[in-house]
């Protein structure tokens, strides 16, 4: 079986990444959304092992030391990382694996796995970003400000990514990410002769 595609979706907090990525995975057969580990506390609706694996800082450190993480980063005072085992298992089964991670993590993955596809999801305007963060209602004013500052820094690195997708509405943004996956599957650099009929 051919190996799946590894795709990173990054973008500022509040860009609607999670919703778009969930729509992408729901609409695209053969995709798998990686579940990250984090030291952040769960939001009220978040479930252990579904949205994240919520762990203590010492558990997180022992995962780093054990080489269990494909990448990790500190974001707004908490640690986040991608467990490597599940990602590799899914890729070897031919699934396309989606990582919804920040830009620091995306660039680390690029170093380790140069064939990764990096996509950056942005809201139509900065004002939209701020109002989406406030609407979510789960963060304090200080956290919102911190997240907006990070967003500004992230925009500066966007040229290191392969694709930009504007999240004007969930369905269209998910469809564009799907189109990127389809195009990448047919990239002459990676297409498998067995799968060529799909191109
Ligand atoms: P949140 O706290 O809003 O769930 O996530 C904050 C940021 O961390 C988001 O940009 C999200 O994409 C990113 N993130 C989530 N999981 C990971 C991960 O495993 N690694 C990295 N580097 N960033 C992550």
| pLDDT tens by residue, 132-182 | 778 877 778 888 888 888 888 877 888 899 999 998 899 999 999 999 999
The answer to whether 23 and 170 have CB atoms below 8 angstroms apart is yes
Tell me, what's the pLDDT at 153?
81
pLDDT of 15 over the 90 cut: no
Pocket test for ligand 1, best of 11, 105, 119, 167 (most atoms within 8 A of CB): 105
C-alpha–C-alpha distance, residues 181 and 198, integer Å: 12
pLDDT of 1 over the 70 cut: no
C-alpha–C-alpha distance, residues 144 and 124, integer Å: 18
What is the pLDDT of the chain when averaged over all its residues? 91
Which sequence spans correspond to the domains of the chain? 6-187
Tokens linked to 181: 């996956």
Tell me, what's the pLDDT at 81?
98
The answer to whether 98 and 33 have CB atoms below 8 angstroms apart is yes
- 122 vs 86: which has the higher pLDDT: 86
pLDDT band at 2 (very low <50, low <70, confident <90, very high): low
The answer to whether 129 and 85 have CB atoms below 8 angstroms apart is no
Tokens linked to 191: 């297409």
C-alpha–C-alpha distance, residues 172 and 190, integer Å: 26
Tell me, what's the pLDDT at 79?
98
Of all residues in the chain, the percent with pLDDT exceeding 70 is 98
**Residue 185 CA, ligand 1 centroid: distance in Å:** 26
Residue nearest to atom 20 of ligand 1 (CA): 81
Look up tokens 């900065």; give the residue. Answer: 126
C-alpha–C-alpha distance, residues 116 and 109, integer Å: 7
- 133 vs 9: which has the higher pLDDT: 9
Tell me, what's the pLDDT at 173?
96
C-alpha–C-alpha distance, residues 15 and 123, integer Å: 5
Of the candidate CATH numbers 3.90.190.20, 3.40.190.10, 3.40.50.300, 3.40.1280.10, the domain formed by 6-187 belongs to: 3.40.50.300
The answer to whether 150 and 73 have CB atoms below 8 angstroms apart is no
Residues facing residue 69 across a β-bridge: 83
**Residue 102 CA, ligand 1 centroid: distance in Å:** 5
- Determine the average pLDDT of the residues in 38-61: 96
The answer to whether 130 and 148 have CB atoms below 8 angstroms apart is yes
The pTM is what?
0.89
Atom index in ligand 1 nearest the CA of residue 40 equals: 2
């Amino acid at each position: 079986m051919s190996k799946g595609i590894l795709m990173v979706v990054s973008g500022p907090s509040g860009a609607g990444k999670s919703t778009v990525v969930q729509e992408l995975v729901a609409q695209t057969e053969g995709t798998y959304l990686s579940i990250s580990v984090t030291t952040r506390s769960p939001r009220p609706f978040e479930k252990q092992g579904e949205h994240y694996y919520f762990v203590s800082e010492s558990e997180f450190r022992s995962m780093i030391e054990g080489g269990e993480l494909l990448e990790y980063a500190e974001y707004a005072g908490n640690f986040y990382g991608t467990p490597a085992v599940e990602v590799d298992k899914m890729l070897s089964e031919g699934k396309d694996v989606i990582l919804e991670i920040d830009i620091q993590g995306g660039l680390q993955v690029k170093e380790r796995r140069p064939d990764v596809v990096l996509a950056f999801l942005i809201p139509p305007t900065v004002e939209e970003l701020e109002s989406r963060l406030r609407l979510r209602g789960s963060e304090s004013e200080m956290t919102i400000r911190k997240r907006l500052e990070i967003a500004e820094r992230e925009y500066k690195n966007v040229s290191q990514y392969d694709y930009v997708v504007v999240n004007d509405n969930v369905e269209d943004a998910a469809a564009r990410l799907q189109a990127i996956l389809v195009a990448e599957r047919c990239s002459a650099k990676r297409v498998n002769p067995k799968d060529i009929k799909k191109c």
